[in-house]
Amino acid sequence: MHKYFNTQKSNKIKTMNNHIAIFAFPFGSHGTPLLNTTRQLASLAPQNKVHFSFISTPNTITSLFPSGSKTDADYPNIKAYEIWDGKPEGYVFSGNHLDEIDLFLKHAARPGALTKVLEEAEDNIGVKVSCVMGDAFLWFLCDLAKEVGVPWVSCWVSGEHSLSVHVYTDVLRERFGIQGVEAREDETLDFIPGLSKIRVKDIPDGIATGNLDSTFAQMLHKMSQALPNASAVCISSCEELDPVVTNDLKSKFSKTFSIGPLNLVIAPQKIADNYNCLGWLDKQKPNSVVYVSFGSAATPTPNELFALAQALQASGVKFLWSIKDHLKVHFPNDFLEKSRENGMVVSWVPQIEVLAHDAIGVFITHFGYNSVTESIAAEVPMIGRPFFGDHKLNGRLVEAVWEVGLQVEGETFTKEGILKSLDRILSSDEGKKMRANIKSLKHLVGKAVAPDGSSNKNFRLLLEHITKT
CA 179 – CA 159 distance, rounded (Å): 28
Beta strands in 343-436 (DSSP E): 343-346, 360-365, 382-384, 405-407
Asked whether 388 and 445 are in contact (CB, 8 A), the reply is no
Contacts of 87 (CB under 8 A, 6+ apart): 100, 103
Beta bridge partners of 360: 289
**325 catalytically annotated:** no
**166 catalytically annotated:** no
Q: Is 289 helix (H, G, I), strand (E, B) or coil?
A: strand
Note the residue count of the chain: 469
CA 362 – CA 359 distance, rounded (Å): 9
> Which listed residue (30, 166, 221, 330) is catalytic?
30
CA 459 – CA 79 distance, rounded (Å): 20
Asked whether 61 and 161 are in contact (CB, 8 A), the reply is no
> Which listed residue (19, 51, 85, 135) is catalytic?
135
Beta strands in 162-254 (DSSP E): 232-235
Distances (CA, A) of 394 to 64, 179, 232, 289, 384: 26, 25, 24, 23, 9
CA 193 – CA 211 distance, rounded (Å): 26
When computed from its CA atoms, the radius of gyration of the chain, rounded to whole angstroms, is: 23
| Alpha-carbon torsion angle 93, 305, 270, 459, nearest 10 | -70
CA 302 – CA 223 distance, rounded (Å): 35
Annotated catalytic residues are: 30, 135
